[in-house]
Amino acid sequence: MSTVALQAKALLIRAVECDQSGRILEAQTLYQDGISQLMDFVSDEPDEGKRKGFLVRIKEYMDRANAIKARINGRLALGEVVFHLSIEDNDTNCDYDQLFGKYMTDQTVEILIEEPHLTKNFQYQNLIRFLELAVTNCKDLKYLLLVTKKDVEDFDKQRTNMGQIKADLERRQITLYIKYEDTLHDRKIYLSNGYIIKIGRGLDIYKASNPMYSIGLTNYKYRKCKQTDVDIWRTSHTAGK
């Protein structure tokens, strides 16, 4: 087998493993990547018999990937609101930990973050603050899927930053997968323990500290907020707590 085929096989084996252990976000990504690599390989295969054999296998994996997609959509179907908060302009005491830290439990092994705008320094900083909370609270976190828009002005910088964040998490045995989706608008954070955090403004709820060197520069419970709504949903698949 060629290197490409071996890589595809390795990806698909890991996909099945993740699938079986309930890590469906990661399984979906692995299936997609594995199938895509296998397709490339098959189109180069001259032997028609072998090609047909591969196509049967690919079809099987596609069926599994579609089944997972249906399961993910089922998970993302909102259940009931367990917590609602309207943040008013200039409110304080809205650190991420204060708002939704208690929902980020050890049962969270996967997280999906849909955050359209990640191009400015404070937006990267908000992402890091969320990831620090995830690393602190979700001891068994394995996989993060981050969906965001491409930075049309400086995609190189965005790719570099994302690559560094990915490498940093890798050192903690957490896989970060970044998906660029240019039509993304809504903000959402799905935790695999079954909770979904929906904030109108996503992670971008804080005003800048003013003046810069003042209480609230680094401890966000003292930061003033922008007006937005926070809803925590519990889906039907909620685990533990």
135 binds a second copy (CB under 8 A): yes
Smaller CB separation from a second copy, 77 or 215: 215
- Min. distance of Cβ 169 from a second copy in angstroms? 7
90 binds a second copy (CB under 8 A): no
Rg (C-alpha) for the chain, rounded Å, is 20
Strand ranges across the sheet with 110-114: 80-87, 228-234, 195-199, 188-191, 110-114, 143-148, 175-180
**How far apart (Å, rounded) are the C-alpha atoms in residues 6 and 53?**
16
Alpha helices of 77-181 — where are they, by DSSP H? Answer: 96-100, 121-137, 155-170
Q: Which stretch binds a second copy (CB under 8 A): 54-62, 147-155, 190-198, 214-222?
A: 214-222
- Min. distance of Cβ 128 from a second copy in angstroms? 5
Q: Which stretch binds a second copy (CB under 8 A): 19-27, 49-57, 105-113, 216-224?
A: 216-224
Which residues 106-125 are close enough to bind a second copy by CB under 8 A?
A: 124-125
Strand 110-114 and strand 188-191: pairing?
antiparallel
**Stretch 172-211: interaction string toward a second copy, x if CB under 8 A:** x--------------------------------------x
Q: Is 109 helix (H, G, I), strand (E, B) or coil?
A: coil
Q: What share of the chain is helix, strand, coil (3-state, %, to 5)?
A: 45, 20, 35
Binds a second copy by CB under 8 A, chosen from 11, 94, 109, 127:
127
215 binds a second copy (CB under 8 A): yes
**How far apart (Å, rounded) are the C-alpha atoms in residues 237 and 119?**
33
- Binding interface with a second copy (CB under 8 A): 124-125, 127-129, 131-133, 135-136, 161, 164-165, 168-169, 172, 211-219, 222
